[in-house]
A and B are shown apart, each in its own frame.
Chain A
Amino acid sequence: MRVLLVEDERKVRDSIAEGLQSEGFEVDVADTGSHGFARLRDAPPDVLILDLGLPDLDGLDVLRDLRASGSRMPVLVLTARDALEERLAGLDGGADDYLVKPFAFSELLARVRALLRRGRTETVMQLVHLDLELDLVRRRACRAGEELVLTTKEFELLELLLRHAGGTVSRKAIAEVVWRQVSRATPLDNVIDVHMARLRRKVDDPFPRRLIRTVRGVGFQLGDGPA
């Protein structure tokens, strides 16, 4: 899968490119809008990651031109401005998704994968990770055949971790998905930590292998859990 990353900040660009490459993507980069245009024309990627604050062109113009040319390429927009109007402008301009800086790499990865999956309808009824099973229809969770009694929030939390098994889920992503938080001005970190601690007591404490791992400064990860 080929990704074109248009981002003028060298450090952000290089580190994202490195991360995506390590995840098996083929990454093409551009540091200006016009350069991005050229790369889009010469070697159309499967997905475009586009920063809106470019030095020469407004990212939105790049986006509009791309859509005007009839392309339906999935586009993930990055922005350091979060005024609601700008988000809306981004989506109206043809973006499929957006991320506000600073973001966790895991989130970027999850969204890029989601964009690439788009169109392929897959209704997941069940999520499985090692001996942990989640029945999304009956909303039941089992580990090693034993049913876990979870609250709604705990179930949603576990579901989110399972959907990104192996990757890291940031607190911000949890706040947005599980708590449907719109504004980041209200820190839900304490709430999330308490729920996570409870989830661990139910999912991990009774079993020899601990699956939920805290990645310091990044978030939480559902891993293989060393014995």
Chain B
Amino acid sequence: MNRWRSSVRLRLATLYVAGLGVVLLLFGSCVFVLVRARVMQSVEVRSQAELARLASYLQQEGISTSEEMEEPGYEPYLVVGPDGSALYASSTWRDLGLPQAPRELAPAGGGEAREPALHVSSLSFRCANQDVTAYVAIDTGDTRRSLSILMAVLLGGTAAALVAALFLGYWLAGRALAPVAALARAAERVGVGDVTARLPVGVAQDEFDRLAEAFNAVLERLQTAIEELRRFSSNVSHELRTPLAAMRSVGEQALRRGTDARGEEAIGSMLEEVDRLTSLIEQLLALARTEATGAGEQGNPVDPAAVAREVVNACLVLAEEREQELVCELEEGLVVTAHPLLLRQALYNLLDNAIRCTPPRGHVRVRVRRLSNDESVIEVVDDGPGIAPEDQQRIFTRFERVDRDAAASGAGLGLAIAKRAIEACRGRIELASALGVGSCFRIVLLHGREAVPRREEQRPVRFSPNQGVSHP
């Protein structure tokens, strides 16, 4: 079924064969019906000629009921009197074992007898002052065999043509779709971040060449845009950091020189704002970089349980400070494709968010489990206030918060960064939430190809994994 949906080529070939099949069957039926009608008509013409000959013979010779009546070399025949009784049946008629009562024969005027290989026709005429009806039976066995052979040839030919058409159609569709397959491969390469991929453009200037050209033009613009964005964020980063560095440096030296308590308070508060601004810029740049280049590198095989454990360990103190229960349920041995840094950052942001949004003494749960053969999921579940349905999309856009309390919830970039980071890993973030029940953020990632996870570059976590945590 999957193959069916995924292959236009197979679908085209099959549709082609189905169409051809209908046409061939219609054509074959028409040929057969026409030939058969024509053949049967010629049989009827022969019968009528035979009957006319018989009638003139009988009118000359008269009908004798005696056994000795001459057999004039006619086809098997039967003569019936006006009362319906048989006047004479030829010996051949009798040999064939045909009935001698006309009502047991087919309706007068010709038609098929019960015996399928015989065609019986009749003719009424006057003979020796009485109305008689003569019946002639013509053997149609040969005709029928010929018709059967015709039908077999038609059916067999159709079937053979269809099989040939299937292969031919599949081949043709494959040839016709080859540029599309090349297009898809190039698009896939772009999908994983290689915007330098280009499609080969043929010289034929056909539809596919034009498509390839259009596609290449889009890629060209995309590549320029990404390079510009890279340059832009580098410049922005320089232009914003330089004055911040000056503020920081000047402020610190003022503090070092020593001022009174009020001056210290003022400078300290200014430096705190410099820090906030710096952190905001870092986050914005991280977001821009993830969008522009995050997808540029292929992900590595990563053990999601290891990443989850590391992030949970880092966040444990935050939960403890709020007297929350932070519980892990980690399925070991899974391997997903991700950028370790981006994944860690996304999960950190989700968990930090969950801890901040859940009231004291609430519960936060981090779960890693296999979702299907292709995907695994890292879930962050809390029993906080939940997020209203109308807010659920909005919170993933930058600078959006559910509560408007800026001090309590940061700049509102955390979830946006998490979403971009996971998308750069070719995964997705899902949110299920109900007001008053809690929220569940899910990071869904594709499984890595390698069975054994490569140890990502990280120093060992020297953090006791169950330090003060309440395990279920």
A residues near B (Cβ < 8 Å) are: 9, 11-12, 15-16, 18-19, 22, 53, 80-83, 100-106, 151-153, 156, 171, 179-180, 182-191, 194-195, 198, 215-218
Contacts and interface: CB of A to CB of B under 8 A. Distances in A.
Q: Is the interface of B mostly helix, strand, loop or mixed?
A: helix
A53 B246 CA distance: 14
Given A80-B238, A152-B464, A185-B417, A101 B283 contact: no
A105 B36 CA distance: 106
Interface in B235-263: 237-238, 241-242, 244-253, 255-257
A102 B278 contact: yes
B330 interface: no
A183 B345 contact: yes
Contact of A217 (B241, B250, B271, B417): B271
Interface in B434-472: 458-459, 462-464, 467
Interface residues of B, number: 56
Interface string B259-286: 0000011011111101100110011011
Contacts of A195: 317
Given A15-B250, A191-B318, A102 B244 contact: yes
Contact of B345 (A22, A106, A186, A190): A186
A216 B279 contact: no
Contact of A101 (B241, B250, B271, B345): B241
Nearest to A194: B317
B337 interface: no
Given A184-B282, A185-B345, A191-B314, A216 B268 contact: yes
Contact of B252 (A15, A80, A100): A15
A81 B237 contact: yes
B459 to A, nearest CB: 6
A101 B253 CA distance: 16
B234 interface: yes
B269 A216 contact: yes
Contact of B463 (A19, A104, A152): A152
B249 A190 contact: no
B246 A12 contact: yes
5 nearest A-B residue pairs (beta carbon):
A217-B271, A216-B268, A185-B286, A101-B245, A11-B246
Contacts of A101: 241-242, 244-245
B248 A182 contact: no
